[in-house]
Amino acid sequence: IGSREKVEAGEVIFSTRRKIDGVDNRNLEDAIYAFGFGNRCSYVKPFGAGHINETYAVYMPGEDGDELSYVLQRVNSNVFKDPAGVMENIFGVTEYLRNEIRQEGGNPDRETLSYIKTKSGCNYFEDGEGEPWRCYNFIPDSVCYQLVEEPEQFYQSGSSFGHFLKQLGNYPASRLHETIPDFHNTVKRFEAFQVALKRDLKNRAVTCKPEIRFVLDREADCGVLVTKQEDGRLPLRVTHNDTKLNNILFDAKTGKGLCIIDLDTIMPGLAANDFGDSIRFGAATAAEDERNLDLMHFDLNLYELYVKGYLEETKDVLTEEEIKSLPWGARLMTLECGIRFLTDYLQGDTYFKTEYPEHNLVRARTQFRLVDEMEQNFDKMQEIIQKYTK
């Protein structure tokens, strides 16, 4: 998909100035009023390219005409069963970050999201159908990328996510709700895949035999990090758990990493998984849903840039065992993501947003292509980690 266009340009779907035909926007309109924008709001457009929530850009009148001022989101309640818990995490973490950023001499209004409460003082709004909405300030002069456009961006991304891990190093993890239980438990993801395969609700298993084989052949790999965590060889930290490139905003002027967004899955987790999920998405030469697999490769140079940025920030806080686990994080987050796409394909596309019937299968294929190339380059991936630990 032309993700960039989708992020930046959308049709106006709500306006206080004119009626938009053919769309039922009652809940959106209620949310606009609940957050106190009411008639002051100029118009609203769909925004962003996430797979889970519905995101909208809210425009308000400014000095030079209408300005993108707020981001409004309807949280996917099929994915997040406890929206109150999600929002408590987000308010807690962003407040904590604001303080950290202040102490670093940074600008808390740009370097973390500022969530807005509803007029009645709640941290989210529940619409007439019980769906949760939340809202934060749009950060001006920021850019969000769907693919690495300049290699430097990926170095910046590593540096930002590394810094984020450090900033939350002393956050009281016991205060966090587990917003999606076993989110990155790759063993459980494998089991869920087996159940979906057995049920084969949509009779799709015949259409993806090689992909099914690919997963079944890697059952043993799924336990590598889970076991180490259970044995106490890898510690739990406060992690983001969804560290893809489009969950970070860059400063439009300086090109530096600016602000980590999409905080729904902040939970105790493994550093290797945050590292790995970034690599999965960003050290790839094509989009996650590229149909032409000849275009999809694991890019070792981009991997190295991320490692450099990430370890510059974290090598003094991570244990030796954690540093050693990073390449496994890349392999397993990519495998796990492919397993999740394939599972969703088998169960009829109930989790990720899809645009056509094989969309999840196409996504699974790109992930397995990357896993295959990571396996072939695993020694090199480990050497690169060594190089930046010295």
Q: How far is CA 11 from the centre of its chain?
A: 25
Question: E-strand spans in the chain?
Answer: 14-15, 43-46, 54-62, 65-74, 115-116, 125-126, 132-137, 142-143, 237-239, 248-251, 257-260, 267-269
Nearest C-alpha neighbor of 250 from the set 134, 167, 161: 161
**79 forms part of the interface with ligand GN1 (CB under 6 A):** yes
Does residue 52 touch ligand GN1 according to CB under 6 A?
A: yes
Q: With binding defined as CB under 6 A, does residue 87 bind ligand GN1?
A: no
| Separation between Cα atoms, residue 360 and residue 193, nearest integer Å | 14
Which segment (19-27, 42-50, 184-192, 294-302) binds Mg ion by CB under 5 A?
42-50
Query: How many helices (H) does the chain have, and how many strands (E)?
Result: 14, 12
Whole-number minimum distance, CB 386 to ligand ADP, in Å? Answer: 33
Q: What are phi and psi of 134, to 5 degrees?
A: -145, 165
CB of 335 closer than 8 Å to CB of 371? yes
Alpha-carbon span 253 to 283, nearest angstrom: 24
Among ligand ADP, ligand GN1, Mg ion, none, the one that 337 touches (CB under a kind-dependent 5 to 8 A) is ligand GN1
Site residues for ligand ADP, window 128-147 (CB under 6 A)? 138-139, 142, 144
Which one of the spans 32-40, 45-53, 160-168, 212-220 is the region binding ligand GN1 (CB under 6 A)? 45-53
What minimum distance in Å lies between the beta carbon of 290 and ligand ADP? 18
Paired residues of 253 in beta bridges: none
188 CB-contact burial (10 Å; exposed 0-12 / middle 13-18 / buried 19+): middle
Q: Among Mg ion, ligand ADP, ligand GN1, none, what does residue 111 contact (CB within 5–8 Å per kind)?
A: none
Per CB under 6 A, the segment of 14-22, 91-99, 111-119, 257-265 that binds ligand GN1 is 257-265
Decide if residue 290 touches ligand GN1 (CB under 6 A). Answer: no
Work out whether 49 is an interface residue with ligand ADP (CB under 6 A).
yes
Q: Which stretch binds ligand ADP (CB under 6 A): 81-89, 115-123, 192-200, 243-251?
A: 243-251
In Å, what is the CA distance from 248 to each residue of 217, 240, 388? 34, 11, 23
Select from 76-84, 189-197, 258-266, 296-304 the region that touches Mg ion (CB under 5 A): 258-266
Q: For Mg ion, which is the closer residue by CB, 269 or 327?
A: 269
Query: Per-residue string for binding with ligand ADP, 77-96, x by CB under 6 A?
Result: --------------------
Interface positions with ligand GN1 (CB under 6 A): 50-52, 79, 242, 244, 247, 262, 264-265, 288, 337
